[in-house]
Structure 1
Amino acid sequence: MTLLELNNLPKPGLAEALQKCCGSTAWVENMVALFPVADAEKLMAEATTQWNKLTEADWREAFTHHPKIGGDVAALREKFASTSAWAEGEQASVKQASQETLEALAAGNTEYEQKFGYLFIVCATGKTADEMHALLQARMSNKPENEILIAAGEQDKITRIRLEKVLTA
């Protein structure tokens, strides 16, 4: 869809398109209120500005809209039907990972969730499963107040990539 088409969507359709990019209700509402936007650069800048204005609770809400990296594909497909193609593409390298790496990712995800209270968020685009596992392990030593900021930054990257996908779909 073009930016012109996005700008001309009725508010419910616009909200639905934006929800595919970021699962935070507050972010979607804030973004809808800004439309129409002048150009893609302004859209991307506002996406980050609005994301950074949110509360930690809003960030955590967005995190719940992501499939667990290396998780059960069938269950994830059902839960995340509207973004499943994007998430699968973003995590494509996980499908080619060794069983050992997949098991390590699954165990690491569980440990991460127990420590931080939300699933491991990483912009998986262009990363191998081994790279994601290494990032997960490195981030386990972070303090919760630092890790939430890192996870929020990763969500912002994901949102921007997905906004680009909306504009090219």
Structure 2
Amino acid sequence: MTTSAPPGLARFNAVDGRDAARMLREVCASRAWAAAVADGRPYATLGELLDAADAAMAGLTAADLAEATAAHPPIGRPAPGDAASAREQSGVRDEERAQLLELNRAYQERHGHVFLICATGRTGAEMLAALRTRIGHDAETERETVRTELGKINRIRLTRWAETPQAPRAPAKGER
């Protein structure tokens, strides 16, 4: 039995390569990741798309990961007007925001980028605990943890828009 591609995935498969890469950069800001995933089209299933996203994530360099993390707002302060970051960080209570922001500053001083965690489904307390643990990681351990967390975020975002009848538009040329 053959199943058709989810509606957003079918729309994504139909755009040209440059537009596909721009759409993917709304999921993950890494140009290398977006290009690798866009180049693998067309995808017959969401599973194929997610496998390609995982493979592209595994191939990212430290510089590619830095490019991707630079686009993420700090935990505890979703980007204004960004529904995705607000939804993903919805588990943070007001009283946890200040702690998260303070620890994120210390994390940033140590690691050179914002603390990145797949916040979907996690409470603020869980994110605080992870931040306290990860602040002590060495650079390589933390880079691989960031890679894993970014992969989880990407999978959630890709699934959301692939299964939505109204797939994201391709950003205009001056946009990400």
* TM-score > 0.5 by shorter chain: yes
Deviation for aligned residue 1:140: 1.5
RMSD over equivalenced CA pairs, Å: 1.3
TM-score when normalising by structure 2: 0.85
Displacement over 2 Å in runs of 4+: 10-13
Residues of 2 paired with 1:39 and 1:54: CA distance?
Answer: 23
Count the aligned residue pairs: 158
Q: Partner of 1:168 in structure 2?
A: 163
Q: How does 1:15-164 map to 2 (within 5 A)?
A: 15-71=21-77, 73=78, 76-77=79-80, 84-94=82-92, 97-99=93-95, 101-164=96-159
| Cα pair 1:17 1:166 within 8 Å, conserved | no
Which sections of structure 1, spanning at least 5 residues, go unmatched? none
Residues of 1 paired with 2:35 and 2:20: CA distance?
Answer: 10
Q: Deviations over 1:107-156 (max 9, x none)?
A: 10000000011100000000111111111001112111101100111000
Deviation for aligned residue 1:2: 2.7
1:4 to 10, 28, 40: 10
Larger helix share, 1 or 2: 1
Q: Deviations over 1:72-108 (max 9, x none)?
A: x5xx22xxx5xx11111000122xx143x21111110
Q: Identity of paired residues, percent?
A: 32
| Cα pair 2:9 2:163 within 8 Å, conserved | no
Specify which structure has the bigger relative contact order, considering alpha-carbon pairs within 8 angstroms and separated by 6 or more residues.
Answer: 2
* Structure 2 residue matching 1:2: 3-state secondary structure: helix
Instruction: Kindly provide the amino acid, as one letter, of the partner of residue 134 in structure 1.
Output: A
TM-score when normalising by structure 1: 0.88
Residues of 2 paired with 1:154 and 1:22: CA distance?
Answer: 12
Which sections of structure 2, spanning at least 5 residues, go unmatched? 1-6, 165-176
| Cα pair 1:22 1:62 within 8 Å, conserved | yes
